[in-house]
Amino acid sequence: MAGRRRRRALRWESRLLLVALAGGLPAVVVASVAIRRSALDPALELIALFILWGTWLACAGLAVERSVRPMQTLANMMAAIREGDTSLRARGADPESALGLALFEVNALTESVAKHRLGVITATALLQRVMDSVDVAVFGFDPERRLRLVNGEGERLLGRPAERALGLEAAWLGLGVTLEGDTPRLVELRLPGSGGRWELRRGAYVQEGRPHELVFLSDLTRALREEEREAWLRLIRVLSHEINNSLAPIQSIAASLRTRLGRAAPPGGATRPAEGSGAAEGGDLSEGLSIIESRAQSLARFMHAYARLARLPKPVPAPLVVSDWVRRVAALETRVPVEVAGGPDVTLQADGDQLDQLLINLVRNAADASLETKGRVWIDWQLVDDSFELGVHDEGPGVSDTANLFVPFFTTKPQGTGIGLALSRQIAEAHGGTLVLENRGGDPASGRRAGCTATVSLPAR
């Protein structure tokens, strides 16, 4: 194709040269005849003919060159536009002449293409910013099911930046199920960045003349969990207000009655026979009042613990050295030895007081479970891409009902309040992280015992 184009260009240039030569040929012939018939010296005659014919050929070549150069300029301009380079401009643009008009129109076309490209780039940047700002994960797959488009939420779910995810197959990323079946529907996914229930929707778009599929994943778990938490908070506020209003007078009256009863008792503990039944009645009354006061105090402590969920402040980030933090909390548990398996040197930007409470709750739960089986408790941590993951492991009996672990008021302990795990997960999510509690399978051959692992994931940066 390129060879044929060159041959056509040469043929056009040759025809143009022949036209230019033919235009000047009659005048050159007449001038040559006149020189031959003149009475000039033969040497001068030869020089005159040489100058005449040389000038004719030079003028013809110059005419061809002046005609070809604007055509090459136009070709270069069109090639630059095709390649996306809109920085070139042709000189000599003049709407008053035919050639200048062509150059003027090419320059105008270049300006138009440049504005269009700028608009496309701006629109693409705006679209990417909008995609990154929504809390819906967006993925684009080509016909070979390779990832070609992902937004910020999608990067978080995949646990890797777009540069390391583009080009990978959907099945390898754990998204193969999203390209199959009817939509919209709910799907259960376990991805490196998060897991849970998602609303799946799909769409189609065309890129480079090929059909692509768009996958939209909406995290219903987080939204439902937030609504659930808000409902619990409202309930806790109401319960706290109403119960505290009742507990205060109950405690006060019970204490006052006990004081008055003590003052009314005979000195030295002596009693008169006629009043024996009254003394026994007073003893029962005192015991009943003690029970009322004790239960009221217990209920007050109970409601105070739940009210902490509604009053958890926003985290105040500060540098937190992970190794110091873990060893400090592990030393607080004295019932069972807590091993610090260690990990890389990491400094987080987090609220140290809140993370102390989170880890204290997890270590206490692990210790409670291990006391039943006399198992181990150990803590380790690692960095996974841009996430920090801390694991609290125990060799207890495991958890039978994992679905209600993070529900306030739910507890499997006789003296438990059901507040520890719910508060811990709220602290983790307030730091932009997650808390997951899973049973571990035992392996008798290797001596590994069953138990639970609580995994706290926090942003490393």
Any idea how long the chain is?
Answer: 461
Computed over every residue of the chain, the mean pLDDT equals: 78
DSSP string spanning 164-183? HHTT-BHHHHT-GGGGSS-S
pLDDT of residue 94: 74
In a domain, 117, yes or no: no
pLDDT of residue 273: 45
In a domain, 271, yes or no: no
Residues 195 and 245 in one domain: no
In a domain, 106, yes or no: no
In a domain, 323, yes or no: yes
For the cut 60, the answer to whether the pLDDT of residue 199 exceeds it is yes
pLDDT of residue 377: 92
In a domain, 30, yes or no: yes
Residues 322 and 450 in one domain: yes
pLDDT band at 326 (very low <50, low <70, confident <90, very high): very high
CA dist., res. 89 & res. 381, Å (int): 60
At 440 the three-state DSSP class reads: strand
For the cut 70, the answer to whether the pLDDT of residue 443 exceeds it is no
**Mean pLDDT (whole number) for 20-46:** 81
Lowest mean pLDDT among 105-119, 269-283, 335-349: 269-283
For residues 21 and 60, the answer to whether their CB atoms sit within 8 Å is: yes
Lowest mean pLDDT among 7-21, 326-340, 383-397: 7-21
pLDDT band at 97 (very low <50, low <70, confident <90, very high): confident
* Residues 6 or more apart in contact with residue 391 via CB below 8 angstroms: 379, 380, 381, 453, 454, 455, 456
Residues 201 and 248 in one domain: no
Lowest mean pLDDT among 222-231, 365-374, 420-429: 222-231
For the cut 80, the answer to whether the pLDDT of residue 29 exceeds it is yes
In a domain, 90, yes or no: no
pLDDT of residue 265: 59
pLDDT of residue 271: 47
- pLDDT tens digits for 67-79? 777 777 888 888 8
For the cut 70, the answer to whether the pLDDT of residue 307 exceeds it is no
**Mean pLDDT (whole number) for 216-244:** 72
Which H or E run contains 313?
A: none
Amino acid in position 334: T
Q: Which residue has the tokens 């996958």?
A: 215
For the cut 90, the answer to whether the pLDDT of residue 379 exceeds it is yes
In a domain, 140, yes or no: yes
Residues 189 and 148 in one domain: yes
Residues 365 and 294 in one domain: no
Q: For the chain, give me the number of helices (H) and strands (E)? A: 11, 12
How many structural domains is the chain composed of? 4
For residues 436 and 455, the answer to whether their CB atoms sit within 8 Å is: yes
Residues 65 and 165 in one domain: no
% of the chain at pLDDT higher than 90:
10
For the cut 90, the answer to whether the pLDDT of residue 164 exceeds it is no
Residue 263 or 182, more confident: 182
Which H or E run contains 95?
A: none
Highest mean pLDDT among 96-110, 165-179, 209-223, 297-311: 165-179
Residues 301 and 416 in one domain: no
pLDDT band at 280 (very low <50, low <70, confident <90, very high): low
Nearest to 388 by CA among 428, 357, 353: 428
Domain that holds residue 73: 2-83
Residues 138 and 208 in one domain: yes
For residues 145 and 170, the answer to whether their CB atoms sit within 8 Å is: yes
- pLDDT tens digits for 46-62? 888 888 888 888 888 88
pLDDT of residue 9: 46
Residues 300 and 336 in one domain: no
Instruction: Mark which of 18, 53, 83 sits at the end of a domain.
Output: 83
For the cut 50, the answer to whether the pLDDT of residue 274 exceeds it is no
For the cut 70, the answer to whether the pLDDT of residue 342 exceeds it is yes
Nearest to 226 by CA among 204, 247, 196, 183: 196
For the cut 60, the answer to whether the pLDDT of residue 302 exceeds it is yes
In a domain, 389, yes or no: yes
Tokens at 20, concatenated: 């230019």
- Alpha-carbon distances of 260 from 82, 286, 289, 334, rounded to whole Å: 101, 10, 12, 43
Residues 284 and 324 in one domain: no
For the cut 50, the answer to whether the pLDDT of residue 249 exceeds it is yes
Half-sphere exposure of 205 (CA within 13 A, CB side): 11
- pLDDT tens digits for 128-149? 777 777 778 889 899 999 998 8
% of the chain at pLDDT higher than 70:
77
Please give the model's pTM, rounded to 2 decimal places: 0.44
Residues 211 and 291 in one domain: no
CA dist., res. 380 & res. 455, Å (int): 10
- pLDDT tens digits for 106-120? 888 888 888 888 887
CA dist., res. 437 & res. 450, Å (int): 14
CA dist., res. 384 & res. 389, Å (int): 7
Q: Give the helix, strand, coil percentages of the chain, each rounded to 5.
A: 55, 20, 25
